[in-house]
Structure 1
């Protein structure tokens, strides 16, 4: 796979960075995009094989400039996320929810549009949703709508953009910086409680999900599919 080129937008931390590392281990030339120059500098030290680009996934012109500089792209992975959108529907801040859509859903769309002219015919697009799109967890209606919108792109785009393959990955609870807003002791207690409810009895790591992301990106017989990598979260009730 040494002749393949991958672009991971949202690739400076969490699932995106873990996927970039796995693709690098496969021998691909891997480019990552992030908004934070500080994070890009940190990754340049820890993972010098990854080529970093500072750009906002929600800015089509910035992503277009990155893709133009890269040239042909075989595997596009969109790992954009955001920390907003959670809360009871009765008092959910709709401005916050709009920001959540801007950060994730619109970021996915603008990134796809900007990268399309550079995707190879045998290439792929892999989107990252979340299991909230298909479960009934109280307080998640907003974020469920965001992730549901992202995952709803997969099937129509798989047909529209063929032979380019389009897939999604739907993680459940994952120990990533997404949870950094919680105090460490609160996060650990919640993860311990959730692990007991999950059929796999553990909370996933970013690398667990990255393994599935790379499968979706590289397997030439998978398209139009959202792969659930949730540890069975959709099967049980997690408080």
Structure 2
């Protein structure tokens, strides 16, 4: 029987790469996002993906979507925010609140809406980031956001069992998340980052999606945060 997957935030980056992988594996894949222009672009290039215009922070809209979908095997939440970075002394708290409003609360809202519709052997997979666990300067704001997302995993894996709950924690990834940085600066930053990583490259969205699909589909993995950071957690390496 075909499995049904819903990828929230599935129109770009890790979310889109995950949706493509799941569809290639035979799932019926629905993607949800706010921006209708991105949904239209994905529909033109990937007609196998079924798009829905939904704000993940709107519980009523999510309830309506799940009522339409019926039973879901896998929920993957890939909403993201690049707000909340910078030195803590000068960090604007409104920016940090915006970051939580963009990622943490939509993640929790999506989980709450999904619970009545997930199969007993279904799964929930979230996206955190290494800033939630590494002592990286000037990331206290965004790091606390990602720590909050990853902090959901173990309690919910127990509370919602046998539904499996996991997260994937990437390091730097070449996705539209970085569009706020000018292209030339971004390329230089990626080159510098790659030189310090044991794998010697910055990840693609598809490489992270490979781990997301594993977490979502492996029936013996729950309560786990999978690090896929190119070895960044090991610290700098010699050139």
- TM-score with structure 2 length normalisation? 0.98
CA distance in 2, matches of 1:171, 1:59: 26
**Structure 2 counterparts to residues 1-239 of structure 1, below 5 A:** 3-237=2-236
The alignment partner of 2:137 has SS state of coil
The alignment partner of 2:101 has SS state of helix
1:237: Cα distance to partner? 4.6
CA distance in 2, matches of 1:61, 1:11: 19
Go from structure 1 to structure 2 and tell me whether the alpha carbon gap of 1:106 and 1:237 turns closer, same or farther (over 3 Å shift). farther
Whether the 8 Å contact between 2:82 and 2:142 is mirrored in structure 1 is no
The alignment partner of 1:3 has SS state of coil
The alignment partner of 1:228 has SS state of strand
CA distance in 1, matches of 2:59, 2:124: 16
CA distance in 2, matches of 1:81, 1:237: 26
CA distance in 2, matches of 1:64, 1:92: 35
1:62: Cα distance to partner? 1.1
Gapped runs of 5+ residues in structure 1? none
CA distance in 2, matches of 1:155, 1:145: 17
CA distance in 2, matches of 1:234, 1:86: 19
1:235: Cα distance to partner? 1.6
- Work out the number of aligned pairs and report it: 237
Whether the 8 Å contact between 1:137 and 1:237 is mirrored in structure 2 is no
- TM-score with structure 1 length normalisation? 0.98
1:30: Cα distance to partner? 0.1
CA distance in 2, matches of 1:117, 1:46: 32
CA distance in 2, matches of 1:171, 1:61: 31
Go from structure 1 to structure 2 and tell me whether the alpha carbon gap of 1:237 and 1:143 turns closer, same or farther (over 3 Å shift). farther
The alignment partner of 2:47 has SS state of coil
The alignment partner of 1:69 has SS state of helix
1:82: Cα distance to partner? 1.1
The alignment partner of 1:180 has SS state of helix
